[in-house]
A and B are shown apart, each in its own frame.
Chain A
Amino acid sequence: MVEQNGPAPLVEVEGMVKSFGENAVLRDVSLALRRSDVMAVVGGNGAGKSTLMKILSGIYTPDKGSIRIEGREVSLHTPSAAHAMGVYLVPQEPLLFPNMTVEENLSLGLDESRADVRRRAVALIKRLDWPLSMSRQANSLSIAEQQLVEILRGLLRSAKVLILDEPTSSLTFAEIQSLFKLIKELRAEGVGIFYITHRLDEVFEIATHVAILRDGRVTLEGPVGDFTRELLLQGLLPSESRKGSAAARTKTLHRNAPDAKPALVLDRVSGYGFRDISLSVYPGEVLGIAGVVGAGRTELAEAVFGIGKLVGGRVLLEGADITGCGVRGSIRKGLNYIPEDRRRNGLFGAASVRANMTSAVLDTLGRVFLPVFRERKLTSKYIEEFSINTTGQEQSLGALSGGNQQKVIISRILATNPKVLILDEPTRGIDAGARGDVYRIIDALKAEGLAVLLVSSDMEEILALSDRVVTMYNGTINREFGPGEIALDGLMAASFGVC
């Protein structure tokens, strides 16, 4: 290709398109990274950051688009091909071999003698001044040390482009400082870095450039000096048209008198991944729990329901203490939970729609034999009520679309007559039509006096459904929004830790 003014950028991505099934994740993304650049890639959940980086590191193949490295067009269809071109991805969760030593982790997959690898690694470690023994077993390393090993792996492969996927998500403050020092040193040597993050503070501390991704497109891009915190948040917000549609929904508060008793109270509960959470939900109310992935919301929901462990605090259901009474106890007492990952936790894919719907109430339907008639009646009631699109009660649940599966799961939970319902990302991976149906169902539940805890990373969803909202950040509640105060920019800012 023709040489332009100055050297060609280290990496140039052009017109990148990628969809998974009908879900378009990247729609035309173009980016350029130069030597010694640290480009912060910012965006909400599902914006396409991880997909883009996985394409760059050879894990996914794009549907359309080209990648040029130092001006040459390349095809990166395997991780090894990407390594050969000098691109190395440091994944969010380090993928080390836990049963091997640091040295083995570094040398594996390299085509040179172990002595050579060792020599080079020791030299690198010394130069970076990071204490790390080559003979330690990987499963004894802290997360920061594991990340260092991952970065060393990239450097040993002479990586010119490092991709750091939320590198600080499980680091302590001191560890973050040493990571930043390392990044500065790498910059000085001309390494280009893509830095994916949810933390706006870090953008201003370490990045030279910023690219904001939203809905599979780059909405804003430029040197970090051109950005302010407000501009960043602005770039993360959805476009005006969608904002309008979300706000157009009317909300009715069904919470009755001010002296109403809360249905569920969390009193300073702590557990692994969340700490000191206090909140209450009233009958006929939806309380949104907003935040970014990794804020501790799912861990909280699971622990309250009885899947995970609570290490402190009390859970009160209609005034009665139900702390630690387990999943069966929670369901019996009227607290139920619909998990984020339907496929893994929620549904029996091979069983029929009817079997799925009644699976949670088998104890109460009949004593020994199942009364088929009552099962049918219950099932047809919900199919009609929620307009579930199915060929019949006998159809296997796996054959339904994601939205209809979700409706079946919600009906199953409703059959247990819960008083409080925790919904974790109820519309993830669901098409727009079914999403509207699910919203209507949630509104209807509210009208019937159910208390709903809505965990969602989709700010518009939170905005559309919630009567009150709390945002979680780093495992604690950092802000509460009353009925009149819920607005997208405030939610977004608090979710990203800006209050």
Chain B
Amino acid sequence: MLPSFRMKREFNALLFAVLLFVGIGSVNPVFLTVRNIALTLQGSVMYIFLAAGMTFVILTGDIDVSVGAVLGMSAAVAATLVRDGYPLWAVVGGALLVGGGTGLLNGVGVTFLRIPAIVMTLGTMGILRGAMFIYTDGKWVENLPDFFKQACQICVYGINLFVLAAVVVVFLMQLYLTTARRGKYFAAVGDNLDGAVLVGVPVVRIRIAAFVVSGLCSALAGLVYTSQIGFVGNVAGNGTEMTAIAACVIGGVSLAGGTGSVAGALFGAVIMNTINSALVFLKVPAYWNNTISGLLLLTMVLADSLLHRYLEEKARRKRLNARFARAAERRACDDARA
């Protein structure tokens, strides 16, 4: 059962996503129209980027709760730049700088300064939330040029540009993590840190890189957010870290580190966004969103950790029992000889 287990996790997530669509569609058929499915996917793009970046961090066994704040700050920076007429490369560059810089800071804090990841990223989250408020003077960033707001409507061969971009980015990441020589390093660090050191994996660099990737992805999510919403309020990205983490876990990325894939995280992100938008169709008030995300997250984490504990305990008992097996076999062997 175990060898196939890893692939099954992504498959389960995909199956869950399909069942979710069919289930909600059977209650309200409007949900299954092409237009609505397209809208749901477009709404997922932001979460796909967040969850894909988060996957790198969780694979190494850490966690990044600053992604929502990074999304907000990079959205604010991008929005002011584009509003003030800066060229597109500067807008994108500004956002990525915020994301990459925060990621680097997180990574250095966690590795060199040995601050637990949850505390370090909670700290940068607070700093960024405050910095964003100061930067925007607490006002919304509005009056963005039309070309920027309409970017989210562009279609390539009938597929939304952002959806396409998200899928391509995730595909490339998946390819890197599974086939590149160093792609496996991320999972290795989270799977067995001592073992990774022993086979010569540059553990510190990999952990920092994971945080940088997460920061950059959050910045991309910030750009998507700005274009789709058309303005940046000062609570932009609030609470999205929970959705991102839940998306990863539902997609089969184990919080214990070492297992999971960005493809799974993509499915997880679609599921999370589908649940949120489905509540509208099921006429459930929107303020249930967070409650349901939280419940789902805890359920998945619990199931995951129970499974882990069970496997670990089983392995330990087997190891301890090997002692007598050896003694008994030796005795049997001696008897046979005699």
Q: Give chain A's interface residues, CB within 8 Å of chain B.
A: 59, 78-80, 83, 89, 91, 95-101, 104, 107-109, 111, 113-114, 135-137, 139-140, 143, 153, 170-174, 176, 272-273, 275, 296, 299, 474-476
Within 8 Å by CB of A475, from B192, B258, B324, lies: B324
- Is the Cβ of B201 less than 8 Å from the Cβ of A108? yes
- Is the Cβ of A475 less than 8 Å from the Cβ of B323? yes
- Is the Cβ of A135 less than 8 Å from the Cβ of B3? yes
* Any A CB within 8 A of the CB of B184: yes
- Is the Cβ of A139 less than 8 Å from the Cβ of B2? yes
B 316-337 binary contact with A (CB < 8 Å = 1; else 0)? 1101111111110110010000
Chain B residues whose C-beta falls within 8 Å of the C-beta of A59 in the assembled complex: 198
- Separation in Å of the A181 CB from the closest CB of chain B? 15
Chain A residues whose C-beta falls within 8 Å of the C-beta of B31 in the assembled complex: none
Q: List 25 A-B contacts (CB under 8 A).
A: A79-B197, A79-B199, A80-B200, A95-B195, A95-B198, A97-B187, A97-B188, A97-B191, A97-B258, A99-B258, A100-B191, A100-B258, A101-B3, A107-B181, A109-B196, A114-B179, A114-B181, A136-B3, A171-B326, A172-B322, A174-B329, A474-B323, A474-B327, A475-B327, A476-B324
Chain A residues whose C-beta falls within 8 Å of the C-beta of B319 in the assembled complex: 143, 170
- Separation in Å of the B225 CB from the closest CB of chain A? 33
Chain B residues whose C-beta falls within 8 Å of the C-beta of A111 in the assembled complex: 181
Closest to B195 in A: A95
- Is the Cβ of A474 less than 8 Å from the Cβ of B324? yes
* Any A CB within 8 A of the CB of B30: no
* Any A CB within 8 A of the CB of B5: yes
Q: How far is the CA of A97 from the CA of B196 in the complex (A)?
A: 8
- Is the Cβ of A98 less than 8 Å from the Cβ of B333? no
Known pairs A80-B200, A173-B330; A113 contacts B323 (CB<8 A): no
* Any A CB within 8 A of the CB of B124: no
Closest to B323 in A: A475
Chain B residues whose C-beta falls within 8 Å of the C-beta of A173 in the assembled complex: 325-326, 329-330, 333
- Separation in Å of the A89 CB from the closest CB of chain B? 7
Closest to A140 in B: B2
* Any A CB within 8 A of the CB of B142: no
B 188-224 binary contact with A (CB < 8 Å = 1; else 0)? 1001101111111100000000000000000000000
Chain A residues whose C-beta falls within 8 Å of the C-beta of B327 in the assembled complex: 474-476
Known pairs A108-B184, A174-B329; A296 contacts B323 (CB<8 A): yes
Closest to B201 in A: A109
Q: How far is the CA of A97 from the CA of B191 in the complex (A)?
A: 5
B: number of interface residues (CB 8 Å): 39
- Is the Cβ of A109 less than 8 Å from the Cβ of B330? no
Known pairs A137-B3, A474-B323; A172 contacts B329 (CB<8 A): yes
- Is the Cβ of A96 less than 8 Å from the Cβ of B6? no
- Separation in Å of the A85 CB from the closest CB of chain B? 12
Chain A residues whose C-beta falls within 8 Å of the C-beta of B200 in the assembled complex: 78-80, 83, 109
- Is the Cβ of B198 less than 8 Å from the Cβ of A79? yes
* Any A CB within 8 A of the CB of B55: no
Q: How far is the CA of A96 from the CA of B258 in the complex (A)?
A: 12
CB within 8 Å of A: which B1-48 residues:
2-3, 5-6
Chain A residues whose C-beta falls within 8 Å of the C-beta of B323 in the assembled complex: 170, 273, 296, 474-475
- Please list the 5 inter-chain residue pairs (A to B) with the smallest Cβ-Cβ separation, ordered nearest first: A95-B195, A273-B320, A173-B329, A109-B199, A80-B200
* Any A CB within 8 A of the CB of B66: no
- Separation in Å of the B106 CB from the closest CB of chain A? 24
Chain A residues whose C-beta falls within 8 Å of the C-beta of B259 in the assembled complex: 99
- Is the Cβ of A272 less than 8 Å from the Cβ of B316? yes
- Is the Cβ of A96 less than 8 Å from the Cβ of B192? yes
Chain B residues whose C-beta falls within 8 Å of the C-beta of A101 in the assembled complex: 3
- Separation in Å of the B249 CB from the closest CB of chain A? 15
- Separation in Å of the A326 CB from the closest CB of chain B? 18
* Any A CB within 8 A of the CB of B311: yes
Q: How far is the CA of A172 from the CA of B321 in the complex (A)?
A: 10
Q: How far is the CA of A171 from the CA of B318 in the complex (A)?
A: 11
- Is the Cβ of B326 less than 8 Å from the Cβ of A99? no
B 246-273 binary contact with A (CB < 8 Å = 1; else 0)? 0000000010001100000000000000
* Any A CB within 8 A of the CB of B185: yes
Closest to B179 in A: A114
- Is the Cβ of A97 less than 8 Å from the Cβ of B192? yes
Closest to A201 in B: B330
Known pairs A172-B325, A474-B327; A99 contacts B191 (CB<8 A): yes
* Any A CB within 8 A of the CB of B315: yes
16 new A-B pairs (CB below 8 Å) besides A98-B191, A143-B319, A170-B319?
Answer: A80-B200, A83-B200, A95-B198, A99-B191, A108-B188, A108-B201, A109-B188, A137-B5, A139-B2, A272-B316, A272-B317, A272-B320, A272-B321, A275-B324, A299-B320, A475-B323
